[in-house]
Amino acid sequence: MDIEADVVVVGCGIAGLSAAVSAQQAGAKVALLERAPKDQRGGNTRYTESFWRMKSENEVSEDFISHFAENSGNYLDPEITKDAVRDFSDWPSVLKTLNFTDPNLISNFADAAGPTLNWLKSFGVSFDFLPNYFISESTTRIALIGGGRALLEALAEYAESVPDDISIHYRTTAKSIALDDNGAVRGLEAVSTNNRPLRLKAKSVILACGGFEGNPEMLSHYLGPDAQWVRPIARGGYYNRGEGIRMALDIGAAPAGDFGSFHAQPIDPRSGAIEPVVLSYAYGVLVNREGKRFTDEAPDSVDATYEAVTRIILKQPEGIAYAIHDSRMEEIDNWRKAVRSDQPPIEAGSLQELADKLALDEETLVSTLETYNAACPPDLSRFDPKKPDGLATSGLDPRKTHWARPIDRPPYLAWPIISAVCFTFGGLKTNAEAQVLNMDGDAIPGLYAAGETMGIYYRTYTGATSVMRGAVFGRKAGSDAANRFARANTV
């Protein structure tokens, strides 16, 4: 089966829908491909609460650019990065393809966030400063009322209202990109149900089909043996299997982002709920399968450190840890908002009983808690769960930097925690207009990437920017692709 369009968009999450709709608004005819069936469309967007790292509807948070800068890559060569102060068009190719976060791209990201948010509001969605699951916070966030699903349905409803302009093809998976003799995109090969081939002819292809968190082979390839202990944070992630990244790499696209890492969240493995995070651990202790503490549970505010702590959990035996608390938790107002699991805590009247229920060595667990309790400060009066309080242990390795209170008042409560993959960091190198670059730093004519398929994150995720990234660069990609088609037709 053959389909002709001006622009082909792969993926029906926030990045793909933003691309499809903006391309249509710029006058292009769009074919939109989605691997999932209609009732499960949207990838991770469908399941996210969609927080944006902004201080108002028009401005990003104060730490937006600085956080990206602090996590833009590791041990960068100053002889190469010194040219980043020049205009992007004057960058040498080695800098354009360097595996780091392009400061020009991040600056454009910040500038486009407010206009993109207000563009989305034109489809009937609203934003507000809503409560989240963090008791302590280090930045400002605004949220979409109704979460990602409301955003998804608003854009999809618009797309469905213009069927002559945007055709949506569900249960259809992109497989390879076709280039013409000049190295420009001329279409896409895909498969629909029952592995039936589908050929799409178009001058632009926008890859917005997620990362590879739903592909165990790619996870194992890039993460190593630890991949066996992780799973996607929500059902939408299982549809993200990395074909968009692979097919672009196959035609010479440059990689970007940290392929060996991902946005990690601490979840209860017993739960099948959407995003069943357990973020209470900072007010208790974490022990591994050996019954031992292994990390500082509270190095800073929870929202700034949970990802690093979760990655350390992944490195423990069997990739699991247990958050242990006592009845002091009831002294923390609204602590339950930090636990989104639909499974009850494992409760016990003594540490010995708790060890038995967790299948941990009793002697080791009791010793671990007694040692921890003895290291807690005697004066607990400055305990403040809403901000890092400096209530630290003394002479304990590993140290607990904040919120260190003894755990000695039964009943004892525990939750198992594993590392979930919200999305992978490795993706494609793009410029600020979402054009995919080849290994020599040149844009591949007609090829774009947005959302998880583009790589911009290293080390630590800049929280509450993923849906923003999808919307901003999806919109940029759609507009540029449509304009490219219009220019081609006027030549």
- Which residues contact residue 144 at a Cβ distance below 8 angstroms, ignoring those fewer than 6 apart? 49, 50, 52, 125, 126, 127, 150, 151, 467
Q: What CATH number has the domain spanning 264-420?
A: 3.90.700.10
Domains 2-260+425-490 and 264-420 agree in fold:
no
**Per-residue pLDDT tens digits for 198-207:** 999 999 999 9
Amino acid 104 reads N
Average pLDDT value over all residues in the chain: 96
Please list, residue by residue across 221-232, b when 16 or more beta carbons sit within 10 angstroms of its beta carbon and e when fewer do.
Answer: ebbeeebebbbb
Read off the pLDDT of each residue in 121-140 and give the average, rounded to a whole number. 91
Of 23-27, 121-125, 138-142, the one with minimum mean pLDDT is 138-142
Q: Does position 453 have pLDDT exceeding 80, yes or no?
A: yes
Nearest to 282 by CA among 308, 265, 306: 306
Burial class (CB in 10 A: 0-12, 13-18, 19+), 6: buried
pLDDT range class, residue 487, cuts 50, 70, 90: low
User: CATH for 2-260+425-490, among 3.40.50.2300, 1.20.210.10, 3.30.70.120, 3.50.50.60?
Assistant: 3.50.50.60
Give dist(CA 439, CA 453) in Å, integer: 17
Domain residue spans of the chain? 2-260+425-490, 264-420
Amino acid 48 reads T
For 294, the 3-state DSSP assignment is coil
Give dist(CA 393, CA 378) in Å, integer: 10
Residue with tokens 């107002």: 333
**Per-residue pLDDT tens digits for 345-389:** 999 999 999 999 999 999 999 999 999 999 999 999 999 999 999
- Rounded to two decimals, the pTM is 0.96
- Which residues contact residue 17 at a Cβ distance below 8 angstroms, ignoring those fewer than 6 apart? 32, 152, 155, 156, 159, 474
Burial class (CB in 10 A: 0-12, 13-18, 19+), 1: exposed
- Which residues contact residue 75 at a Cβ distance below 8 angstroms, ignoring those fewer than 6 apart? none
pLDDT range class, residue 310, cuts 50, 70, 90: very high
pLDDT range class, residue 134, cuts 50, 70, 90: confident
The torsion angles phi and psi of 293, rounded to 5 degrees, stand at: -70, 150
Q: Does position 3 have pLDDT exceeding 90, yes or no?
A: yes
Q: Does position 1 have pLDDT exceeding 80, yes or no?
A: no
Q: Does position 455 have pLDDT exceeding 70, yes or no?
A: yes
DSSP category for residue 254? P
- Which residues contact residue 134 at a Cβ distance below 8 angstroms, ignoring those fewer than 6 apart? 279, 301, 302, 303, 338
